[in-house]
């Protein structure tokens, strides 16, 4: 599991006073950076081997400006050339939004999907948890593992609930 913490910006809010729904797909894309590094270690866009097939987001509670948001990211499905990424946005101990997206390993020149194999597949397997709700997972253990692996963001201790 990947953990990253962000600070909302004022422009993330809308006239209802909390974070606008259109920001969640953007936050989730940002939080996939560490996962993208599995495919493109230096994140050079010219080597990009992924295409987005689908996104979905459920809005569970209002997210506010002024408090950090932890994004939890894992693979809930790993297929032959595609996979599903599940992500949650937590703030003040509450899961405010949960999203799933389907990405496909894709050759942008040949315009065709590519099988996920070998070492790449092995690395992705280590991030697979066949659950679509982190409440079903042992988050403290996953958090400790992420700290050891360097896939846990540098937010100061204590700012985000376990």
Residues that bind a second copy (CB under 8 A): 7, 9-11, 13-18, 20-23, 25-26, 29-30, 33, 36, 42-46, 48, 51-59, 65-66, 108, 154-156
Q: Least distance to a second copy from the beta carbon of 81, Å?
A: 16
Nearer to a second copy, 47 or 125 (CB): 47
Q: Which tokens sit at 55?
A: 């996104």
Q: Least distance to a second copy from the beta carbon of 138, Å?
A: 25
User: Considering just the CA atoms, what is the radius of gyration of the chain in Å?
Assistant: 16
Nearer to a second copy, 48 or 125 (CB): 48
3-class secondary-structure state, position 85 = strand
Q: Counting runs of H as helices and runs of E as strands, what totals does the chain give?
A: 4, 6
Nearer to a second copy, 90 or 106 (CB): 106
Q: Least distance to a second copy from the beta carbon of 84, Å?
A: 13
Strand blocks (E) in 69-140: 69-78, 82-91, 94-107, 112-113
> Is residue 106 a contact partner of residue 114, using CB atoms and an 8 Å limit?
yes
């Amino acid at each position: 599991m990947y953990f990253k913490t962000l600070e909302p910006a004022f422009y993330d809010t809308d006239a209802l006073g909390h974070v606008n729904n259109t920001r969640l797909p953007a936050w989730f894309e940002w939080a996939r950076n560490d996962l993208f590094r599995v495919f493109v270690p230096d994140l050079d866009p010219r080597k990009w081997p992924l295409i987005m097939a689908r996104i979905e987001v459920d809005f569970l509670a209002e997210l506010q400006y002024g408090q950090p948001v932890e994004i939890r990211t894992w693979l809930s499905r790993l297929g032959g050339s595609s996979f599903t990424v599940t992500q949650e946005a937590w703030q003040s101990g509450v899961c405010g939004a949960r999203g799933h997206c389907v990405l496909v390993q894709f050759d942008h020149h040949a315009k065709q999907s590519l099988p996920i194999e070998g070492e790449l597949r092995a690395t992705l397997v280590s991030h697979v948890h066949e659950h679509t709700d982190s409440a079903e997972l042992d988050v403290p253990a996953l958090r400790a593992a992420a700290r050891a692996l360097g896939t846990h963001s540098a937010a100061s201790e204590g700012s985000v609930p376990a």
